[in-house]
C-alpha cells in the first residue's frame, strides 16, 4: 500500500504536470480546470482546519469565500472604472494590484471570522452549524440586494488584477500564482497542526471538557483556529474572483458552504491534502458526469453515500494506515 | 484558616426540588488526604463538579489558598491550581499516553499558543512528561494510543494528567475504580508521596484504600455531610455505619 506522504508528493507532481501539459498541447481549458482545483483546494484546507482538526462544523464558510471574492471584485471594479470607492477617512478608488488586494482580503476575512467566531463559538453542535449558516445567508441576501455591485447579477471585472512584472492574464502564470498560495497554505497548516497549538485544537475536537480541565482556554483556541480557517478560505475567494473575473452572490450561498464541506469529506477529514484531493475529485466528476447528464449531482450524492459507508475517512485514507492523531 | 488550602462553605445545588448538595461545608488542609465517601447518588461527584466549576452552585463559597474562586470559570480554576480526575476516564483517546501528558503540561509552560514550532521538538516538555509517566508506571506504554490502553492504565493516565499540572489541590474522583491490586497499591504509594506537595480530596469506594490513605474522612448522604473525622472516628460512627459502611468493617 502506498503511504499517504508519497501519494501527497504525487498530487503535487500532477499539479505541476497537468497545467504544463495543457500549455504544451495548447489546451488552456485544463490549466483553468487545475487552477480551479487548486483554489477550491485552498478553500477546503481552510475549512479543514476548523472542521477536520478542531471539530467546528462550520456551514458558513461561503461567507469568507464570498467576502474575499467581493473585496477583490469591488477594489478592482473601482480601480478599473476610476470611480471613487470612499472619500473618508481618505480618498481611494480601489486597486487592481494583487499585492494591495491580498492583504486587504486577508485582514477583512480575518475580521469577519473574528466577529462570526466570537458570536457563534458560544454555541456548539447543531446550534453552531445553524448560526454559521445564518451569517453566510445574511451576507448572501445583502449581496443580492446591493445594486451598486451588480446585485443578483454579480460583478464583472474586465481585467485580472495585476502583479508587478508578471502577466497575470496568462493562464499558466496565474495558475502558478495560485499554486504558490496553495503551497504556502499547506506549509502554514502543516506547521500549525504539528505545533503545541495544533495539539490543543486537535484535543478539543476529541474531548473539550478534558482540555478545559488542564487549564487551556478552549474558547480562545477555537476562536483563533476559526479566524485562521476563515482567512484562508477568504484568500481562496479572492483568487476565485480573479480566475473568473467575475463575482456573484452565488459564492455566498449555503450551497458553496456545502461544496467546500464536500471537498473536505470526500478527500478526508483532518488530512492535510484531503480537501485538495476532494476538490479535484469533485471537479473531475462534475466535468465527466456533467458531460453525460445534467443530474450529475445525483451521482455525486451516491458516491458520497458510498464513501461515508465504506471509506469513512476519505479518499486519502485508502493510501494510508494511520496518522499521528488518528485511529 | 491558615492550615486550610481549600475551604468550602454552604455549597448547595438543586435541580428543581431535588437538592443534590445541601449546604456542604468541607475543607482540605495542607499535607492531607481528605476522603469523601458515601453511597451512590449521595452528591459526591456533583460536589467535585461544583468545586472545579463545571456545575454552577446555587449558594455558597469556595476559597482556594485564601483566594475566593467562587465566581471563577472552570478554566480559571484549573489555571490557579485545581486539578481533577473524572469518575469515568476522560482522556484524549487518539493521542498517545505521552501526548496526553504533554497536553496537560502546555498551559503551565505557556506553550498553548505557540503556533509554528513543532511540538515534537520540545524536548523539555517530553522529558517532563516521561518523568510523570515513570511515576505512574506507564513509561513503557508512552507511545501507545490512549484508546488502546487497558482500563487500569487509563485510570493511571488520568492521575498522570492531574499530576502534570502541578496543582495546589487534587480532586480525585474514584481513581482506583477498576484497578487490580498492584495498580491500587501503586496509587496508594503515589498519593502518599504527592500529598505533601498538593493535598488530595479523594472520592473512593474502595474502603481499604480509603482507610490506608485518608487523614480525615467525610461522609456524605443525600447531599449533606453527615460526619467528618479521622478514620477511627468514622469507623466507630453509628450513623456512618447505618448509612454507608455497615457493621462488618
Contacts of A217 in chain B (CB under 8 A): 75, 112
Q: What is the ipTM of this complex?
A: 0.90
Residues of chain A with pLDDT > 90: what percent?
Answer: 77
pLDDT at A92: 85
The answer to whether residue B86 is domain-embedded is no
- Alpha-carbon gap: A130 to the closest alpha carbon of chain B (Å): 25
Give the E-state strand segments of chain A in sequence order.
155-156, 246-247
> Is B162 in the same domain as B175?
no
Query: Which pTM value belongs to this model?
Result: 0.92
In angstroms, the first-to-last Cα distance of chain B is 33
Assign residue B16 a region (left: φ > 0; alpha: ψ between -120 and 50; beta: otherwise): left
Phi then psi for A232, rounded to 5 degrees?
-65, -45
* Domain stops at, among B131, B166, B201: B166
B161 with A214: Cβ contact below 8 A? yes
Q: Please give the residue of chain B at the shortest CA–CA distance from A220.
A: B113
**How many domains are contained in chain B?**
2
For the cut 60, the answer to whether the pLDDT of residue B1 exceeds it is no
> Is B229 in the same domain as B162?
no
Interface test with A, best of B55, B69, B73, B75 (most A CBs within 10 A): B75
What single DSSP character describes residue B245?
I
- Compare CB distances from B78 to A199, A206, A215 and report the shortest one's residue: A215
* Domain stops at, among B110, B134, B166: B166
Average pLDDT (A255-272) is 94
- Residue that has been written with the C-alpha cell 513543532 in this structure: B118
> Is B131 in the same domain as B232?
no
- Alpha-carbon gap: A192 to the closest alpha carbon of chain B (Å): 5
Which pairing describes strands B169-173 and B4-15: parallel, antiparallel, or unpaired? unpaired
CATH code, B200: 3.40.50.300
Average pLDDT (B7-36) is 91
Domain span holding position B134? 91-166
A81 inside 8 A of chain B by CB: no
* Domain stops at, among B112, B147, B166: B166
> Is B99 in the same domain as B160?
yes
CB burial of A141-162 (b: ≥16 within 10 Å; e: otherwise) equals: eebbeeeebbeeebbebeebbb
The answer to whether residue B50 is domain-embedded is yes
Residue B36 three-state SS: strand
- Compare CB distances from A194 to B90, B102, B120 and report the shortest one's residue: B120
- Mean pLDDT across chain A, nearest whole number? 92
Q: Rounded to whole angstroms, what are the CA distances from A195 to A121, A199, B103, B142, B248?
A: 22, 6, 11, 19, 55
> Is B22 in the same domain as B125?
no
Contacts of B115 in chain A (CB under 8 A): 191-192, 195, 197
- Compare CB distances from A195 to B74, B92, B119 and report the shortest one's residue: B119
Measured CA to CA, the distance from residue A267 to residue B165 in angstroms comes to: 38
pLDDT at B248: 58
> Is B140 in the same domain as B95?
yes
For the cut 60, the answer to whether the pLDDT of residue A326 exceeds it is no
pLDDT at B247: 63
> Is B2 in the same domain as B73?
yes
- Residues B196-227 have pLDDT tens digits of 789 999 999 888 899 999 999 999 988 899 88
Domains of chain A: 4-23+31-319 (1.10.3470)
The answer to whether residue B22 is domain-embedded is yes
For the cut 90, the answer to whether the pLDDT of residue B35 exceeds it is yes
Higher pLDDT, A132 or A317: A132
- The rounded radius of gyration (Å) of the Cα atoms in chain B is 18
A195 with B118: Cβ contact below 8 A? yes
Band the pLDDT of B230: cuts 50, 70, 90.
very high
Q: Please give the residue of chain B at the shortest CA–CA distance from A189.
A: B116
Which cell numbers in the block locate residue A165? 512584472
Distance of CA A312 to the CA centre of its chain: 22
pLDDT at A1: 46
Task: Give the DSSP letter string of A234-297.
Answer: HHHHHHHHHHHTEE-GGGGSHHHHHHHHHHHHHH-TT-TTHHHHHHHHHHHHHHHHHHH-TTHH
Q: Are the C-beta atoms of residues A94 and A77 closer than 8 Å to each other? A: yes
Band the pLDDT of B249: cuts 50, 70, 90.
low
Give the E-state strand segments of B113-242 in sequence order.
169-173, 200-203, 216-221, 224-229
Average pLDDT (A160-182) is 96
pLDDT at A323: 47
pLDDT at A93: 84
Average pLDDT (A199-214) is 96
> Using beta carbons and an 8 Å cutoff, which residues of B are at the interface with A?
52, 54, 74-75, 78-79, 83-84, 86, 90-95, 99, 102-104, 106-108, 111-120, 122, 125, 145, 147, 161, 164-165
> Is B16 in the same domain as B139?
no
- The number of residues in chain B equals 249
Q: Which residues contact B101 (CB under 8 A, 6 or more apart)?
A: B129, B132, B133, B157, B160, B161, B164
> Is B200 in the same domain as B220?
yes
- Compare CB distances from A196 to B78, B92, B106 and report the shortest one's residue: B106
Residue A55 three-state SS: coil
Q: Which residues contact A158 (CB under 8 A, 6 or more apart)?
A: A80, A245
> Is B185 in the same domain as B74?
yes
Contacts of B83 in chain A (CB under 8 A): 213
- Residue that has been written with the C-alpha cell 478545559 in this structure: A212
Residue B223 three-state SS: coil
Tell which residue, A47, A64, A50, has the closest CA to residue A223.
Answer: A50
Amino acid at each position: 500500500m502506498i503511504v499517504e506522504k508519497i501519494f501527497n508528493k504525487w498530487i503535487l507532481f500532477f499539479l505541476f504536470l497537468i497545467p504544463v501539459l495543457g500549455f504544451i498541447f495548447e489546451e488552456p481549458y485544463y490549466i483553468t480546470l487545475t487552477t480551479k482545483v487548486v483554489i477550491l483546494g485552498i478553500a477546503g484546507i481552510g475549512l479543514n482546519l476548523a472542521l477536520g482538526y478542531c471539530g467546528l462544523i462550520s456551514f458558513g464558510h461561503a461567507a469568507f469565500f464570498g467576502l474575499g471574492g467581493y473585496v477583490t471584485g469591488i477594489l478592482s471594479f473601482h480601480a478599473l472604472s476610476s470611480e471613487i470607492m470612499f472619500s473618508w477617512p481618505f480618498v481611494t478608488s480601489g486597486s487592481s494590484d494583487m499585492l494591495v488586494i491580498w492583504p486587504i482580503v486577508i485582514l477583512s476575512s480575518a475580521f469577519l471570522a473574528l466577529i462570526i467566531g466570537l458570536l457563534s463559538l458560544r454555541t456548539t453542535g447543531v446550534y453552531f452549524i445553524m448560526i454559521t449558516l445564518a451569517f453566510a445567508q445574511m451576507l448572501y441576501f445583502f449581496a443580492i440586494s446591493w445594486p451598486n455591485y451588480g446585485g443578483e447579477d454579480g460583478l464583472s471585472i474586465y481585467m485580472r488584477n495585476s502583479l508587478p512584472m508578471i502577466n497575470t492574464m496568462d493562464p499558466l502564470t496565474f495558475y502558478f500564482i495560485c499554486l504558490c498560495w496553495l503551497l504556502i497554505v499547506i506549509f502554514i497548516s502543516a506547521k500549525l497542526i504539528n505545533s503545541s497549538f495544533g495539539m490543543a485544537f486537535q484535543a478539543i475536537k476529541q474531548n473539550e471538557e478534558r482540555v478545559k480541565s488542564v487549564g487551556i482556554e478552549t474558547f480562545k483556541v477555537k476562536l483563533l483556529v476559526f479566524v485562521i480557517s476563515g482567512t484562508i478560505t477568504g484568500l481562496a475567494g479572492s483568487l476565485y474572483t480573479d480566475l473568473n473575473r467575475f463575482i456573484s452572490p452565488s459564492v455566498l450561498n449555503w450551497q458553496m458552504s456545502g461544496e467546500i464541506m464536500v471537498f473536505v469529506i470526500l478527500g478526508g477529514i483532518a488530512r492535510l491534502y484531503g480537501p485538495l484531493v476532494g476538490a479535484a475529485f469533485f471537479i473531475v466528476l462534475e466535468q465527466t458526469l456533467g458531460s453525460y447528464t445534467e443530474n450529475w449531482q445525483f451521482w455525486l450524492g451516491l458516491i458520497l453515500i458510498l464513501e461515508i459507508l465504506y471509506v469513512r475517512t476519505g479518499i486519502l485514507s485508502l493510501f494510508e494506515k494511520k496518522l499521528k492523531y488518528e485511529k | 484558616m491558615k492550615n486550610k488550602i481549600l475551604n468550602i462553605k454552604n455549597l448547595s445545588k438543586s435541580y428543581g426540588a431535588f437538592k443534590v448538595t445541601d449546604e456542604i461545608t468541607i475543607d482540605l488542609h495542607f499535607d492531607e488526604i481528605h476522603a469523601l465517601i458515601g453511597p451512590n447518588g449521595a452528591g459526591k461527584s456533583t460536589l467535585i463538579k461544583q468545586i472545579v466549576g463545571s456545575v454552577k452552585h446555587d449558594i455558597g463559597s469556595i476559597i482556594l489558598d485564601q483566594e475566593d474562586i467562587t465566581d471563577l470559570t472552570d478554566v480559571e480554576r484549573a489555571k490557579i491550581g485545581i486539578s481533577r480526575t473524572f469518575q469515568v476516564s476522560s482522556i484524549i483517546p487518539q493521542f498517545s499516553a505521552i501526548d496526553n501528558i504533554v497536553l496537560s503540561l502546555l498551559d503551565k509552560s505557556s506553550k498553548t499558543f505557540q503556533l509554528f514550532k513543532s511540538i515534537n521538538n520540545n524536548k523539555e516538555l517530553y522529558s517532563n512528561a516521561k518523568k510523570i509517566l515513570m511515576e505512574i508506571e506507564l513509561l513503557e506504554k508512552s507511545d501507545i494510543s490512549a484508546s488502546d490502553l487497558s482500563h487500569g492504565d487509563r485510570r493511571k493516565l488520568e492521575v498522570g494528567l492531574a499530576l502534570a499540572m502541578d496543582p495546589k489541590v487534587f480532586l480525585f474522583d474514584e481513581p482506583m475504580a477498576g484497578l487490580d491490586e498492584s495498580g491500587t497499591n501503586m496509587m496508594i504509594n503515589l498519593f502518599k508521596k504527592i500529598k505533601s506537595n498538593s493535598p488530595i480530596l479523594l472520592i473512593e469506594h474502595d474502603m481499604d484504600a480509603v482507610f490506608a490513605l485518608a487523614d480525615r474522612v467525610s461522609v456524605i448522604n443525600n447531599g449533606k455531610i453527615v460526619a467528618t473525622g479521622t478514620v477511627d472516628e468514622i469507623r466507630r460512627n453509628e450513623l456512618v455505619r447505618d448509612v454507608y459502611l455497615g457493621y462488618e468493617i
